[in-house]
């Protein structure tokens, strides 16, 4: 083998070694890549497990500490007491509602009775004013009660049945009361009531004139 052939042979062998080395490096890099991914995933799962375990341990420690130092075991008892208190409040509300309904019913009956007992005299208007004054809190409680009062007055013909001149004090007292009602409720029934007593009052005034 000549020297030139030997040199060419050596170069060929070196080129093959370089090629083998590149292959080895490539394969080794791929292996390292997959090993790295596997290791990363394994580490991620381990971290999650460690974190979960740590949270659970911490939760247990906190609960144990609360039970030991603050009587957390009484929470169930307190919860039951709260439920009983809520039931008591609901019961009281129901009783109060029933009481209010009964009171309103009794007040309505009392008002109706007092309206019917108004005498037919020159003091009829003043007696009506007196009845309204006695039941005033009930009457102004809601507009429905005010309408009920006016209905009772007309149904019992308290104004229509008057056959004698009414006192001015009785008339003025009713007008003043109606004005108070108008500040609370805007209803045409008040105008109807006012017109009725005004017509009746001046009916006798005109007769005397």
Whether 106 and 197 share a structural domain = yes
Whether 108 and 34 share a structural domain = no
Whether 36 and 128 share a structural domain = no
Predicted confidence at residue 177, as pLDDT, reads 95
Predicted confidence at residue 131, as pLDDT, reads 95
Predicted confidence at residue 43, as pLDDT, reads 52
Whether 61 and 112 share a structural domain = no
Predicted confidence at residue 102, as pLDDT, reads 77
- Note whether 173 and 132 are within 8 A (CB): no
Q: Which residues of the chain, if any, have pLDDT below 70?
A: 1-97, 99-100, 206-209
**Is residue 94 in some structural domain?**
no
Q: What are phi and psi of 92, to 5 degrees?
A: -65, -40
- Note whether 188 and 196 are within 8 A (CB): no
Domain residue limits at 193: 102-208
**Total domains present in the chain:** 2
CA dihedral (151, 156, 159, 160) in degrees, to 10, reads: 120
**Is residue 79 in some structural domain?**
no
Predicted confidence at residue 120, as pLDDT, reads 85
**Is residue 75 in some structural domain?**
no
**Is residue 196 in some structural domain?**
yes
Predicted confidence at residue 101, as pLDDT, reads 75
Predicted confidence at residue 125, as pLDDT, reads 94
**Is residue 92 in some structural domain?**
no
């Amino acid at each position: 083998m000549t020297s030139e052939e030997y040199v060419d042979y050596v170069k060929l062998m070196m080129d093959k070694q370089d090629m083998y080395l590149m292959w080895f490096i490539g394969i080794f890099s791929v292996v390292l890549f997959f090993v790295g991914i596997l290791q990363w995933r394994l580490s991620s799962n381990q971290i999650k497990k460690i974190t979960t375990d740590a949270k659970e341990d911490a939760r247990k420690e906190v609960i144990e500490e609360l039970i030991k130092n603050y009587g957390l075991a009484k929470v169930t008892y307190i919860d039951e007491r709260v439920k009983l208190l809520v039931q008591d409040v609901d019961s009281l509300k129901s009783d109060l509602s029933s009481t209010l309904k009964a009171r309103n019913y009794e007040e309505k009956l009392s008002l109706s009775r007092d309206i019917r007992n108004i005498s037919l005299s020159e003091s009829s208007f003043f007696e009506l004013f007196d009845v309204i004054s006695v039941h005033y809190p009930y009457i102004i409680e809601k507009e429905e009660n005010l309408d009920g009062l006016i209905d009772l007055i007309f149904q019992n013909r308290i104004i229509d049945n008057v056959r004698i001149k009414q006192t001015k004090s009785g008339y003025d007292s009713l007008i003043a009361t109606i004005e108070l009602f108008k500040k609370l409720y805007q209803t045409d029934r008040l105008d109807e009531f006012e017109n009725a007593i005004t017509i009746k009052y001046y009916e006798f005034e005109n007769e005397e004139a």
